């Protein structure tokens, strides 16, 4: 995972930083694919093979696509199956003002471990959840009823998932620019 990028504004008023920390990784593609072939008599990568695509073994999106192929053979591997989002997990680091951090945790409903930083006005939180929980967090923090600062957080997370091509998480979300560099999101 590329953790060298910081997502979010770096200004004095609405200061927060988010950085990806960890994500689910398939540690044994060989065992996974062999078991599918042996017990289901088909390939977990058939959807990729049919489209002449190369499976990227470090891609969460491609792992989710193989799950779709296992459950729904012969369909488009990138059509989302939202239940599959529970099979993958992500954690991010959030550094924000105490108030903003507390509100992000409350609105996102992600699992959080929070400590005060050496700068008393900021907290450091590790936010974690399944990709299904992150999808809900994006919807909750990009709602027009929340403050712009909270929408900035949700927008930054949405941009990160788009950047790493996790289309299964953002598929079906109606995204509307708000005119303040944030995005309103609702499920379709």
- What is the reported pTM? 0.86
Q: Exposure of 129 by Cβ count < 10 A (0-12 exposed, 13-18 middle, 19+ buried)?
A: buried
- Asked whether residue 4 is assigned to any structural domain, the reply reads no
Check whether residue 130 and residue 60 sit in a common domain: no
Residues 46 and 126 in one domain: no
pLDDT (tens, 9 = 90+) of the chain, 188 residues, equals: 333 334 444 433 457 899 999 888 887 888 999 999 999 999 998 888 888 888 888 888 888 989 999 999 988 888 888 899 999 999 999 999 999 999 999 999 999 999 999 888 899 999 999 999 999 999 999 999 999 999 999 999 999 999 988 888 998 999 999 999 999 999 88
Domain's final residue, options 48, 63, 85: 85
């Amino acid at each position: 995972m590329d953790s060298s990028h910081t997502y979010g504004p770096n200004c004095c008023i609405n200061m927060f930083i988010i950085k990806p920390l960890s994500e689910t990784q398939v540690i044994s593609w060989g065992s996974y694919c062999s078991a599918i072939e042996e017990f289901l008599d088909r390939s977990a990568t058939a959807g990729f093979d049919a489209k002449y695509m190369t499976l990227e073994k470090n891609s969460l999106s491609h792992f989710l696509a193989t799950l779709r192929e296992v459950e729904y053979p012969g369909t488009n591997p990138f059509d989302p199956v939202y239940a599959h989002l529970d099979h993958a997990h992500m954690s991010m680091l959030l550094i924000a003002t105490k108030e903003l951090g507390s509100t992000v945790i409350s609105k996102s409903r992600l699992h959080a471990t929070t400590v005060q930083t050496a700068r008393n006005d900021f907290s450091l939180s590790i936010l974690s959840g399944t990709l299904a929980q992150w999808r809900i967090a994006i919807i909750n923090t990009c709602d027009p009823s929340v403050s712009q600062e909270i929408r900035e957080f949700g927008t930054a997370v949405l941009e990160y998932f788009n950047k790493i091509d996790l289309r299964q998480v953002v598929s079906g979300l109606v995204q509307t620019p708000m005119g303040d560099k944030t995005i309103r999101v609702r499920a379709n």
